[in-house]
Amino acid sequence: MRKIVAFVKKHTILIILLAISILFPQSFSYQSKLNMRVLVTAIAVDKVQEDYEVTLQVVMPQAKAEQGSGKAVLSFITEQGKSISESIQKIAYKIGNTAALSHVSTVIVGNSLLDGNLTKELDYFIRNTEFNSAVMLLIAPESAKDMLKKTQNLEINEAIRLQKVFVYKESSLNGLMMPIVEFMNNSLTISGSSMASGILISNEGEEVLGQSTDKTLESQQSQQQGGGNQNGQESKESSNQQGGESSKEQNGRIKYYNDIYYFKNGKYVNKYDKEDEILGIFLSNRAPNTGELVVQNVKGDFLKDATIGCKFRQQETKNNIKFIDGKPILVIDMAFKDVKINEILNQGQPTPALYEFQAESSQSNIVQAIQERVESCVRLAYEKAKKDGVDILNIGDLAYRQKPYEWKEYYSKTGESYLSGTDIEVNVKVNNFN
């Protein structure tokens, strides 16, 4: 032992050099050189018969010589396989580079996957440790691949960071940033209900701002389908364009109010596509920082035909359960702070309407109108889901958490059909009305 130690001490530098020279070339083979990877920022998944069609949104670096005004160019690569994992692997073989999936922020799922159990289809994104837990789930109305390709029409920062866009949308009550992990978790709770946002990207001039009816939505979709296919074919060519040229085509816009799809135990049930429903579900479930409300039919002669635009900040929602006659009632207490009137569109009224508006009675009528509007939105969303048998407000979970023994008693009597005996009570309070 002593001889070994003495030998090591005498030849320390030689041993270190030897170790480095052995490991040095090894490092080249194990090294995940950045150039040998393609950076994937979004994934679209569709089902084609029994196979999965996966499309990757890839950021292609631009060498200095080719750089135009844009910093990166998007490219879309599609492949089919028996599983999502296999499809991604095939893409790697196709392009000769491994897919770097760590920056994937969005997964868009096509309509074709809604037939089965979505939680099972998305298992890959939970198991693979390369993905961030906060990867967002979006549902495309038709083909996810086409919708993903339309992101090319968005500003580059928007296209590669859809998750951030939806975070902002969520905070202003017109979008839902639903991580896949949370979606999966919600489907495993007592209520089993989970939601995911839809995504609709249209070119400027095609989209309809504000509320969209079913018909309008259909016509938009049909237009986009025709346009979408063309976009898909042109994607490869457009990916090779210079940054300057591509900016001319960046006139895509994400729809303001995106549909909210709701599921029960991972299976698709229905969706909220009306503005009131979407607003209702956000106000009851989420706690955004800011939001816009439009109220009409305010009581009183002065404002009866007016359309009033309000902005509120720091809305807080507290959901409590109470049992009445052994049945759970969800009490939703909503408090709106700092409600400001931004705009009053009052047709046919003389100009000094401001003095009338300042009257206390007018203000209290507006507040009442806001309360009524919010209540009606929430109830609309709840009733629609209740009809479909989906406990969208998680009454079951809340009841178990807050009053477990009463809940167990109730559940033992009703079982899976507990929802029919539930009801909601919405209390809206407006503080600091301006």
| Contacting residues toward other proteins, per CB under 8 A | 1, 5, 9, 20, 23-24, 26-28, 30-35, 37, 39, 41, 59, 61-65, 67, 71-72, 100, 102-103, 105, 126-127, 129-130, 132-134, 157, 160-161, 163-164, 167, 179, 181, 184-185, 188-189, 400-402, 404-405
- Contact, 97 vs 58, CB < 8 A? no
Judged by beta carbon, residue 79 or residue 397, the one nearer other proteins is 397
Q: Which of 264, 274 has the CB closer to other proteins? A: 264
Asked if 259 and 206 touch (Cβ cutoff 8 Å), the reply is no
Rounded to a whole number of angstroms, the minimum distance from the CB of residue 384 to other proteins is 25
- Nearer Cβ to other proteins, position 340 or 401? 401
Cβ pair 15, 80 in contact under 8 A: no
Give DSSP secondary structure letters for 74-108. EEEEEEEESSHHHHHHHHHHHHTSEEE-TT--EEE
The distance of closest approach from Cβ of residue 61 to other proteins in the complex, given in angstroms and rounded to an integer, is 4
304 versus 401: smaller Cβ distance to other proteins: 401
Of 1 and 354, nearer to other proteins (C-beta) is 1
User: What angle do helix axes 360-387 and 275-285 make, rounded to 10 degrees?
Assistant: 90
Q: Of 102 and 342, which CB lies nearer to other proteins in the complex structure?
A: 102
DSSP 113: G
Q: How far is the CB of 78 from other proteins (least distance, A)?
A: 22
| Closer CB to other proteins, 285 or 307, in the complex | 285
- Choose between 72 and 260: whose C-beta lies nearer to other proteins: 72
Measured CA to CA in angstroms, residue 134 lies from 192, 210, 282, 393 at distances of 20, 29, 20, 22
Q: Which residue, 28 or 355, has its beta carbon nearer to other proteins?
A: 28
Going by the DSSP 8-state scheme, the letter that residue 131 receives in this structure is S
Whose structure tokens read 């879309």? 76
Q: Can you tell me whether residue 391 is helix, strand or coil?
A: coil
Could you tell me the smallest distance in angstroms from the CB atom of residue 63 to other proteins?
A: 4
Tokens of 349: 């009224």
Cβ(430)–Cβ(339) under 8 Å? yes
d(CA 52, CA 308): 48
Q: Smallest gap, in angstroms, from Cβ of residue 324 to other proteins?
A: 20
* Smallest separation (angstroms) from other proteins to the CB of 205: 30
Q: How far is the CB of 44 from other proteins (least distance, A)?
A: 18
Residue 62: partners with Cβ closer than 8 Å, 6 or more residues away: 68, 70, 71, 72, 73, 243
Q: How far is the CB of 298 from other proteins (least distance, A)?
A: 36
Residues 205/287, Cβ–Cβ less than 8 Å? no
Least distance between other proteins and beta carbon 284 (Å): 15
d(C-alpha 277, C-alpha 224), whole Å: 24
**How do the residues of the chain divide into helix, strand and coil, expressed in percent and rounded to 5?**
45, 30, 25
